Amino acid sequence: MASAFDQIMARKGEIMLRALGMDYGDFERSPIAFDYEGMMEAHGYSIDQIIAIQAAAGVGNTPLLELRNITDLVRSYSEPGHGARIFVKDEAANMAGSFKDRRASMSIHAAAEKGYAGVIAATSGNYGAAVASQAARHNLNCIICQEAFDSAHVGQPEIIEKSRICEAFGAEVVQMTVGPELFSHMLELLDETGYFAASLYSTFGISGIETLGYEVANEMMALTGAPPTHVVITHAGGGNTTGTARGLRRAGAHGTEVISASVDLSGLHMASDRDFNRKSFTTGHTGFGVPFATWPDRADVPRNAARALRYMDRYLTVTQGEVFYVTEALAKLEGLERGPAGNTAMAAAISLARDLPADATVVVQETEYTGAGKHHWAQLNFAREQGIEVRLGDPRENKPGTAIVIPEKPEQIRAIDFDLVRLRSSYVRNALSHAPEGYVPTADDIAFLAQDTNSDPEFVEKTIATLKEA
């Protein structure tokens, strides 16, 4: 007999049709391919309309700051003529303190416009705070589903802080222990309440992030006379990379290199009760970044609008210790005390800038608020309580869940390229495995997979041939 989990997940399309007002079946072309751009345009809002909606909601138009002191530091140990200028988009200036206010603003606007009485979101916290904040401004009920504890009901201080801020904005927070139930319980609540699905992965949410890339491109044009040469984006579920890259393209910044960045948490399983509190980062890590890049449709919606692999030019990983070091450096050198998510991209940007010419421009496209449990000292103290070693040294000695090694000097910060060919091959394999047994991909499928992996039909065909041989 099918479990309750299987039963509710089997009804995902039906529930989301009612909870979003969008029939995903309209965009399906085959068991593999679908009309991605058609789906993305189906919300019906132009970029100018989205900008106006967000302005009315107190979202967007955040400061773009040049980090001159950080740039000078990087140049002090770079080769002559190297050390790119580093900028940051200070998204902590948004209503709830992160770029996810952009995401939430569009979902909540759509919910209010369509006449829903309330909204529901599943999140580790930052997005929940954004949804709760926007729901309060629109007088909508709000339920946040949050994976908060291990089986002993112990939660990371960062997660508990995120629960607090969601409740401060008036949301009902449904806290769960680690496991696969987060999305399924969200579906159950949507089915029971008839509320709007403020999904992280809907077209409404991703369209809201497009203004971030759009602003970055236009503001850099005003500041430097050209779009940024590189934009570094913290990568988890893929929405940040997808929305920012699409916004850059809308502004004409087609030559900007899009670089995703995650904390390397390899060796820790995200659904493991033991590992849950042994990771000092609740988002922006490879535990989300790799699975969602290689199969985005694992989300709560039938087709995920966040498809980061379409837009990545590079994928860099950094260690936990490097991010904590950069968090301190940003505060002490630039007067910006910000949370860990944006500083993941900042650590990658500092490594990247070292090897770029001095006339290159690197934008870290987000920051997030910090304080209380989100502060890096709280996270490090919690790590020690879990028996994790915290020390200074070579960050290459960092071992997720066992040791956090914080650099002794900035030149030790060295991001590592994740193999994009491996990610693309994994995506193709996953796409084939989700098609009916014996299904033979068509030319349209091959073209779709090439677009969805940012590769070409020849790569896809070779990958399929290799999988058949295996």
* 378-401 pLDDT per residue, tens: 999 999 999 999 999 999 999 999
Structural domain boundaries enclosing 291: 53-95+207-417
Task: Give the SS3 label for residue 407.
Answer: strand
What pLDDT is recorded for position 123?
Answer: 83
Residue 259 pLDDT greater than 70, yes or no: yes
Give the pLDDT mean for 335-339. 95
Give backbone dihedrals phi and psi of 124, rounded to 5 degrees, phi first: -80, -15
Q: Confirm whether 428 is domain-assigned.
A: no
**Interatomic CA distance for residues 204 and 141, integer angstroms:** 19
What pLDDT is recorded for position 470?
Answer: 67
Strand 172-177 relative to strand 141-149: parallel, antiparallel, unpaired?
parallel
Q: Confirm whether 328 is domain-assigned.
A: yes
N- to C-terminal Cα separation, the chain: 33
CA angle 159–302–276, rounded 5-degree value: 25
Residues with Cβ within 8 Å of residue 56, at least 6 apart in sequence:
none
Of 80-89, 118-127, 349-358, which gets the smallest average pLDDT? 118-127
What's the number of domains the chain is made of? 1
Instruction: Report yes or no: 129 and 96 within 8 Å, Cβ to Cβ.
Output: yes
Of residues 447 and 151, the one with the higher pLDDT is 447
Q: Confirm whether 406 is domain-assigned.
A: yes
Give the pLDDT mean for 271-277. 84
What pLDDT is recorded for position 275?
Answer: 85
**Interatomic CA distance for residues 94 and 418, integer angstroms:** 31
Q: How confident is the model at residue 4 (pLDDT cuts 50, 70, 90)?
A: confident
Sign of CA dihedral 61, 49, 369, 233: negative
User: Half-sphere exposure of 437 toward its Cβ, with a 13 Å CA cutoff?
Assistant: 0
**Interatomic CA distance for residues 301 and 149, integer angstroms:** 25
Give the pLDDT mean for 39-58. 96
Q: Confirm whether 325 is domain-assigned.
A: yes
Mean pLDDT of the chain: 94
Instruction: Report yes or no: 212 and 54 within 8 Å, Cβ to Cβ.
Output: no
Q: Confirm whether 132 is domain-assigned.
A: no
Q: Confirm whether 247 is domain-assigned.
A: yes
What pLDDT is recorded for position 126?
Answer: 85
What pLDDT is recorded for position 2?
Answer: 58
From residue 413, give the alpha-carbon distance in Å to each of 212, 322, 338, 370.
Answer: 27, 6, 19, 22
Of residues 9 and 35, the one with the higher pLDDT is 35
pLDDT in tens, 292-318: 999 999 988 889 999 999 999 999 999
Nearest Cα neighbor of 336 from 66, 128, 138, 75 is 66
What pLDDT is recorded for position 1?
Answer: 44
- Helix 320-334 vs helix 68-77: crossing angle, to nearest 10: 120
Side chain identity at residue 233, one-letter code = I
pTM, whole model, 2 decimals?
0.95
Q: Confirm whether 222 is domain-assigned.
A: yes
Residue 268 pLDDT greater than 90, yes or no: no
Residues with Cβ within 8 Å of residue 167, at least 6 apart in sequence:
132, 173
Which domain CATH number covers 275? 3.40.50.1100
Q: Confirm whether 297 is domain-assigned.
A: yes
Q: How large a percentage of the chain has pLDDT more than 70?
A: 99
**Interatomic CA distance for residues 277 and 177, integer angstroms:** 11
Sign of CA dihedral 371, 376, 379, 385: negative
- Which H/E stretch holds residue 417? strand 416-417
